[in-house]
Amino acid sequence: MRGKWENTTMTCPYDVLLSRLQSAFDHVVVGADPVLRPSDRGDYQANGIMALAKSQGMAPREMAQRVLDVLDLSGVAEVEVAGPGFLNLTLTSEYLDETLRALLDDERLGVATLTPRTAVIDYSAPNVAKEMHVGHLRSTVIGDALARIYRFRGYSVVARSHVGDWGTPFGMLIEHLVDLGEATAMAALSIGDLDGFYRAARVKFESDEDFRERSRQRVVSLQGGDPETRRLWQILVDESVAYFAEVYSALDVTLTPDDVVGESYYNDMLDAVVTDLDAAGLLVESAGALCVFPEGFTNREGEPLPLIVKKSDEGFGYAATDLAAIRDRVDHLHADELLYVVGAPQSQHFEMVFAVARAAGWLPAALRCEHVAFGNVLGPDRKMFKTRSGETIKLIDLLDEATERAEAALVQRSQDLSPEQRHQLATQIARAAIKYADLSNDRQRDYVFDLERMIAFEGDTGPYLQYAHARLRSIFRRLGTAWDPRAARFSLGADAERDLARGLIAFPEAVDAAMATLHPHRLSGYLFELAQRFTTFYEACPVLSAPEPSRTERLALCDLTARTLRLGLSLLGIEAPEQM
RNA sequence: GCGGCUGUAGCUCAGCGGAUUAGAGCAUCGGUCUACGGAACCGAGGGUCGGGGGUUCGAAUCCCUCCAGCCGCACCA
C-alpha cells in the first residue's frame, strides 16, 4: 500500500524503518516485503522473514541472520529475532527524542505531502426538491473526510455533488410550482420544506388526470429547452441548492454550491456518448434500447447484461450521464483519480460503467477509478433507519436532536457558559457525535444508528475525543508562565510517556492507511487509541507540578497530543473546541 | 439461479498483505477519590472468531463447501 505515491519528505519512523529493512531484504530478493507492523513486542515488528525463508528454501532463523547481516538500523532502532523469525524492532531513545523534537516544529506532524494529483470525488448527491435525509449522511460524511484527507496530502480535489436535477418528476414539480405561484413556492422551498412540496406535487399527480397531463407536457417542454420552462426549473434547482448549502454548513461539510453539479450539466454530452460508443463498435440495439454489453455481467437467466445507454423511449439512462461525467472529469477536469462515494447497492452499476468507459478508451489504465461503497444506516430494529411512521429522517432533524441532547448535557456541567456559547458548543459536539459514529465504522458494513450511544461522552465517541483535546488545552490555559518547547528533551522514563510517544509518531501511518484504503475509520481508530494513551499518561504523570526537566517534556507531549488530535479530527471533518 | 457484502464477548464494533497470548467501547462486578477538568483512570469476569473441510510449522485472516442475513441482477436514478 506504500510506495504507490512518492513522498516529498520522509520524517516518520515507519518510513525510515521500512526503507532500511527494504534494502536489507532486497539483498536477498529484490522487492521482498518486510511486512512491517506496529507491535507491542517492541515498537514495530517485521514479519517478512518467514515468507522469504520459505521462498528460498531456508530455515527462517538462518534467513533472519542473513538479513541482519546487512541490516543497518544504526541510530534508529534495536532489533532482535524472536520466535520462528520475527524481527522485533525497538526505537532507540535517541531516535525517539529526535523524532519528537522534529514534530514539535512540524505543523504537519510528520505527515508528508505527496506529488500533487487531481482527484475528483463524487459524494453527497441529494435530489433537487427533495429533503436531505439519512440516506445521504454516509456519502456526505465519508466523502467529505476523504476530500479533506486528500487535500491535506497535497492533492487538488474537485468535489462533485451529483444531484438529481433532471428526469420525469420535474414535469410534476414545475407544474406544482406554477399552481402555487412562484413567490409562494419559493417561500415554501426556502424554509426547507422540500418534502412537503414534493409530496403535494406527487399527490396531485396521482389523483388529478389533468395535472398528470400537464406534467407530461412539461417534461417535454423541459427537455425541448423551452425557455420559460427552463426558468421555472432553474428556480427549483437554485432554491434546492441554496437549501443544501445550509445543510452542508450545518454539518460543517466543505461542499459549496460550486461543487453541486447536477445530472443536467451533462445533457449536452449525452449524444456524443452514444455516437462515440457506436463508433467504437460497442453499441448494440436490444429491445429497442441502445446498450453496451460489457464482458462478465449476466442477468438472472445467465444472459449478457446490458448497460442501457439510451432507453427505448429515446430518453437517456443514468448510465449515459455517468459515462459523460467520466469523460468530463478525465478530459476537462484532468482527473488523475476518480472516486464515487455511493452506496454499496450500486456496485454492479459502477463496475459496468467503469468497464464500458475502459472499453471505450475513456479511462486510461493508470487512472485510479473506484466506487467507494458503503453500507446502510440501520435503525434500532436493524432495518433501514426510518421514523416510527416509516418516513425517512431529515438530516437536519437528526442534527437538531443531537444538538438538543448535547445542550442538555452541557447545562448540567458547564455553569460558566452563556446560552449562546452553550448552543454553539452543543452544535460542535452534535456534529462530532454523528460524524464520528459514521466514520469509526468500517464503511462497507451497515451500522446501527444509536444517538444515545454516539453522543455519550464516554466510550469510543466523537465527544470523548473532543473532551480529551479540551482537557489538554486546559493545561495550557493554567500554565501561567510561558514554556519553551525547544527546551524539551524526551527521555520518556515512564511507561505511560513512552506509550504516548509511540502513539504520536504513528500519526502519519494512520493518515496514510486511511487514504490508501479509502477507509476513514483507520484514522478514527488511531485517534481514539491516542486519546486513551493520553488519558492513561495523564493519570500517571503529573504535568504542571512535575519538576524540570520533566515538566517541559510532559508539556511537549501534551502539546503534540493536542495538535495531533486536533489535526486528525479536522481531517475527519470534526472540530476540536478549546473547552467543553 | 448468478453476483456482491456481512456473520468475532450479553450489546456495538476493531483486528490493516497469515505470525509470537484474539482486542476496544458499552453493560456487569471490584478498586482509585482533597481531583494539573472524575465527562477520568486501574482491574476482573465474559469469545470452540456462523458450521465443516483444506493449505501451512502456524488461519478470525488464504482456498473449498454449507448455513443465516442484507443488497443487486434491462430501460427509476
Model pLDDT, residue A9: 52
**A213 and A177 within one domain:** yes
**A540 and A403 within one domain:** yes
Residue A576 lies in a domain: no
Out of A226, A254, A282, a domain closes at: A254
Nucleotide nearest to A322 (CA to C1'): B77
**A428 and A535 within one domain:** yes
Contact, A190 vs A229, CB < 8 A? Answer: no
Q: How far is the CA of A344 from the C1' of B5 (A)?
A: 8
Residue A99 lies in a domain: no
C-alpha cell at A132: 436531505
End-to-end CA distance of chain A: 38
Task: List all nucleotides in chain B with at least one atom under 7 A from a protein Cβ.
Answer: 1-7, 12-21, 24-27, 36-42, 57-58, 70-77
- How many alpha carbons lie under 13 Å from residue A31 in its C-beta half-sphere? 0
How many angstroms separate the CA atoms of A90 and A108, rounded? 24
Residue A4 lies in a domain: no
Contact, A289 vs A347, CB < 8 A? Answer: no
Rg (CA), chain A: 28
Nucleotide nearest to A539 (CA to C1'): B41
Residue A579 lies in a domain: no
Residue A112 lies in a domain: no
Contact, A491 vs A343, CB < 8 A? Answer: no
**Phi, psi for A124 (deg, rounded to 5):** 80, -75
Model pLDDT, residue A141: 96
Model pLDDT, residue A480: 77
Q: How far is the CA of A45 from the C1' of B19 (A)?
A: 10
Reported in sequence order, the residue ranges of A418-496 that DSSP labels E, i.e. its strands, are 447-448
Nucleotide nearest to A317 (CA to C1'): B75
Q: How many domains does chain A have?
A: 4
C-alpha cell at A74: 544504526
**A559 and A526 within one domain:** yes
**A211 and A134 within one domain:** no
Residue A580 lies in a domain: no
Is the Cα torsion angle A324, A260, A141, A474 positive or negative in sign?
positive
List the single protein residue with the shortest CA to C1' distance from B16: A513
CATH number of domain containing A26 = 3.30.1360.70
Out of A234, A254, A274, a domain closes at: A254
Q: How far is the CA of A536 from the C1' of B65 (A)?
A: 47
Q: How far is the CA of A479 from the C1' of B43 (A)?
A: 33
Is the Cα torsion angle A104, A109, A110, A114 positive or negative in sign?
negative
Per-residue b/e over A477-510, b at no fewer than 16 CB within 10 Å? eeeeeebeeeebebebeeebbbbbbbbbbbbbbb
How many angstroms separate the CA atoms of A214 and A72, rounded? 79
Model pLDDT, residue A6: 39
Nucleotide nearest to A472 (CA to C1'): B37
Identify the domain containing residue A308 by its residue range: 118-162+264-377
List the single protein residue with the shortest CA to C1' distance from B1: A300
How many angstroms separate the CA atoms of A370 and A5, rounded? 17
C-alpha cell at A45: 515488528
List the single protein residue with the shortest CA to C1' distance from B7: A445
**A554 and A423 within one domain:** yes
**A158 and A180 within one domain:** no
**A533 and A404 within one domain:** yes
pLDDT in tens, chain A (580 residues): 333 333 445 468 998 999 899 889 988 888 888 888 888 778 898 988 888 888 888 888 888 999 999 999 998 999 988 888 889 999 999 999 999 999 999 999 999 999 999 999 999 999 999 989 999 999 999 999 999 999 999 999 999 999 999 988 999 999 999 999 999 999 888 887 888 899 999 999 999 999 999 999 999 999 999 999 999 999 999 999 999 999 999 999 999 999 999 999 999 999 999 999 999 999 999 999 999 999 888 888 888 999 999 999 988 989 999 999 999 999 999 999 999 999 999 999 999 999 999 999 999 988 999 999 999 898 877 788 887 777 888 999 999 999 999 998 888 877 778 889 999 999 999 999 999 999 999 999 888 888 988 999 888 999 999 999 999 999 998 887 788 999 999 999 888 999 999 999 999 999 999 999 999 999 999 999 999 999 999 999 999 989 989 999 999 999 999 999 999 999 999 999 998 8
List the single protein residue with the shortest CA to C1' distance from B72: A345
Helix (DSSP H) and strand (DSSP E) numbers for chain A: 21, 13
Q: How far is the CA of A579 from the C1' of B72 (A)?
A: 47
Residue A190 lies in a domain: yes
Nucleotide nearest to A519 (CA to C1'): B16
- How many alpha carbons lie under 13 Å from residue A194 in its C-beta half-sphere? 25
Out of A254, A282, A307, a domain closes at: A254
**A292 and A247 within one domain:** no
List the single protein residue with the shortest CA to C1' distance from B12: A448
**A292 and A248 within one domain:** no
Nucleotide nearest to A528 (CA to C1'): B24
**A329 and A405 within one domain:** no
Q: How far is the CA of A1 from the C1' of B66 (A)?
A: 34
Q: How far is the CA of A40 from the C1' of B57 (A)?
A: 23
Contacts within 8 Å (CB) and 24+ apart, A206-209: none
CATH number of domain containing A319 = 3.40.50.620
List the single protein residue with the shortest CA to C1' distance from B2: A300
Amino acid at position A318, single letter: Y
**A238 and A148 within one domain:** no
- Residue A119 pairs in a beta bridge with A157, A337
